[in-house]
Amino acid sequence: MSFVIAQPEMIAAAAGELASIRSAINAANAAAAAQTTGVMSAAADEVSTAVAALFSSHAQAYQAASAQAAAFHAQVVRTLTVDAGAYASAEAANAGPNMLAAVNAPAQALLGRPLIGNGANGAPGTGQAGGDGGLLFGNGGNGGSGAPGQAGGAGGAAGFFGNGGNDGMGGAGAAGVNAVNPGLATPVTPAANGGNGLNLVGVPGTAGGGADGANGSAIGQAGGAGGDGGNASTSGGIGIAQTGGAGGAGGAGGDGAPGGNGGNGGSVEHTGATGSSASGGNGATGGNGGVGAPGGAGGNGGHVSGGSVNTAGAGGKGGNGGTGGAGGPGGHGGSVLSGPVGDSGNGGAGGDGGAGVSATDIAGTGGRGGNGGHGGLWIGNGGDGGAGGVGGVGGAGAAGAIGGHGGDGGSVNTPIGGSEAGDGGKGGLGGDGGDGAAGGDGGAGGDGGGRGIFGQFGAGGAGGAGGVGGAGGAGGTGGGGGNGGAIFNAGTPGAAGTGGDGGVGGTGAAGGKGGAGGSGGVNGATGADGAKGLDGATGGKGNNGNPG
């Protein structure tokens, strides 16, 4: 690769010499023009006139060519002059940084600050302060914006002459954590089941009831199932009245574990009896679920058959769900399997769904804006304060759980029209939604920087807006109603159960407060206060359950 060396002084001198040559030639051409372009004829004859005209035309052509040469010569001179200036400017620019670095080096080494130059800007998202300007000349660097929740960096100060740096904006506050309903825990050995009731045979009375299941006492321990009621029966006899035993209630579940199922009611069976009555035992209520777990199912009602007057047992209610847990289904009503007349049992109602968890984690406050840098000591404006960060959005509440399904009514199979089938159970209520958490407050604005002897004070930064409040959780859906009992011979069918009402939505939380505006200098404008955050929306109401 070849290298080109240019000396601007020599190029400029050559351009000057060429300009002198052009001036001399122009002067000579001008002196000759008057004598050569208008040659007089030597005589009045045609030959003399033609000779004079020939010489004049040659002189005019020469003058035209000379004018074109002079224009080209002038262009060459201009090009050389411009090139000389360009080379000189390039050399000066290349020498400038080295010269400035040499001037700044001693001050930088002794004071940690250059003599001339602008301060570096702080990196965005770090809250880094801007660098100070040169001691003699230079503007302060702008502060970097803050990370979430962090204050913005301060603006750098100017030296003797210069403006202070503007400060960085505060980081936005961290968003609050949305509430989450707890789930099931790792299961352990369930609590003890209740024992079954004793049977009743051949004599009037009521069979033994089932014992209640034990409650779960450890995390993940399900409640014990209730014991079934004892059965009753007779073969022959006159006017014997028997009732099946009631089921035992299911035990409540421990945290993260479901409730135990309710025990079934005892059945009654009469064979060859005259004038007897048979009543089935009622199913028991299911145990309530632990935190985050569903309720237990209700026990089924006891069936009856063969009595002169028959009444089947009702299904038990489902257990309520724990926080965030679904309601347990209701037990089915007992059926009248045979006999002249009888009423079957109604289905049990579904358990209510558990409420959703409310958010408790308040959102973070926005970071404070950094302060503006001080203007130059002699001449310079102070930097403006940075705006405060916006407050974080509040966490939302969790949704309510679904209600339990109602149990179906028992069926009837009797020949007499006065019999009635059981009604379906009502669906459980949907759980209410959890409440939202408050939004974070906005960060305060930074203060404006001071000025020099001549200059303006920096304005205060605006306060950050408050964060939006957390929304309330949606209400849970109501449980569906149970089906009405069927008629297989004569009688009135059971009515369908109604669906449970949907849960109420959670309350939205208040928005955060706006941050205060930063102070201006003595004559600097004060920053505006931040606006209050919007309140969180109320959670939607849950859908009602479908009828049976």
Indicate whether 67 belongs to any domain: yes
Pick the more confident residue, 516 or 377.
516
The pLDDT value recorded for residue 280 is: 96
Q: In this predicted model, what pLDDT tens digit does every residue of 290-306 receive, in sequence order? A: 999 999 999 999 999 98
How many Cα neighbours within 13 Å face the side chain of 322? 26
Pick the more confident residue, 65 or 464.
464
**H or E element in which residue 343 lies:** strand 342-343
Reported as a pLDDT band with limits 50, 70 and 90, residue 221 is very high
Residues above pLDDT 70, as percent of the chain: 83
Indicate whether 63 belongs to any domain: yes
**How many separate domains does the chain show?**
1
Q: In this predicted model, what pLDDT tens digit does every residue of 41-55 receive, in sequence order? A: 666 677 666 666 676
Residues above pLDDT 90, as percent of the chain: 52
- Asked whether residue 94 carries a pLDDT value surpassing 90, the answer given is no
Q: In this predicted model, what pLDDT tens digit does every residue of 145-163 receive, in sequence order? A: 989 889 988 888 888 888 8
Residue (of 212, 285, 218) closest to 254 by Cα position: 218
The pLDDT value recorded for residue 15 is: 57
The pLDDT value recorded for residue 35 is: 64
User: Residue 528 carries which side chain, given as an amino acid letter?
Assistant: A
Mean pLDDT of 353-378: 86
Q: How buried is residue 179: exposed, middle or buried, by Cβ count under 10 Å (0-12/13-18/19+)?
A: buried
Q: In this predicted model, what pLDDT tens digit does every residue of 195-204 receive, in sequence order? A: 999 999 989 9
Within 8 A by CB and 6+ apart from 411, the residues are 335, 336, 344, 421, 422, 485, 486, 487, 488
Pick the more confident residue, 429 or 25.
429
Reported as a pLDDT band with limits 50, 70 and 90, residue 2 is very low
* Structural domain for 9, as ranges: 1-40+50-92
Of 26-40, 76-90, 267-281, the range with the highest mean pLDDT is 267-281
Interhelix angle 46-111/8-36, nearest 10 degrees: 160
Within 8 A by CB and 6+ apart from 280, the residues are 243, 244, 265, 266, 267, 268, 301, 302, 303, 304, 311, 312, 313, 334, 345
Ramachandran category for residue 324: left, alpha or beta (phi over 0 → left; psi -120 to 50 → alpha): left
Within 8 A by CB and 6+ apart from 56, the residues are 36, 37, 38, 39
CA triplet 456, 121, 89: central angle to 5 degrees? 90
Indicate whether 188 belongs to any domain: no
Indicate whether 261 belongs to any domain: no
Mean pLDDT of 491-501: 94
Dist. CA 376–CA 163, nearest whole Å: 6
- Asked whether residue 84 carries a pLDDT value surpassing 90, the answer given is no
Q: In this predicted model, what pLDDT tens digit does every residue of 388-399 receive, in sequence order? A: 889 999 999 999
Concatenated DSSP letters for 189-249? PPPPPPPPPPPEESSSEEPPPPPPPPPP-STT-PPPPPPPPPPEEEES-BS-EEEPPPPPP
Reported as a pLDDT band with limits 50, 70 and 90, residue 27 is low
Structure tokens belonging to residue 334: 């007992």
- Asked whether residue 421 carries a pLDDT value surpassing 80, the answer given is yes
User: Residue 259 carries which side chain, given as an amino acid letter?
Assistant: G
Dist. CA 55–CA 66, nearest whole Å: 16
Indicate whether 5 belongs to any domain: yes
Reported as a pLDDT band with limits 50, 70 and 90, residue 523 is confident
Tokens 């409640």, residue?
A: 223
* DSSP 8-state class, residue 61: H
Domain with residue 36: its CATH number is: 1.10.287
Mean pLDDT of 26-39: 63
- Asked whether residue 18 carries a pLDDT value surpassing 80, the answer given is no
The pLDDT value recorded for residue 1 is: 39
Reported as a pLDDT band with limits 50, 70 and 90, residue 135 is confident
Helix (H, G, I), strand (E, B) or coil at 420: strand
Q: What are residue 143's phi and psi, to 5 degrees?
A: -70, 150
Dist. CA 227–CA 248, nearest whole Å: 5
Q: Are 304 and 337 in contact (CB under 8 A)?
A: yes
Radius of gyration of the chain (CA): 50
Dist. CA 295–CA 319, nearest whole Å: 4
Indicate whether 148 belongs to any domain: no
Q: What are residue 91's phi and psi, to 5 degrees?
A: -65, -40
- Asked whether residue 40 carries a pLDDT value surpassing 90, the answer given is no
Q: What is the separation of C-alpha 217 from the centre of its chain, rounded to a whole number of angstroms?
A: 38
The pLDDT value recorded for residue 134 is: 81
Indicate whether 31 belongs to any domain: yes
Indicate whether 299 belongs to any domain: no
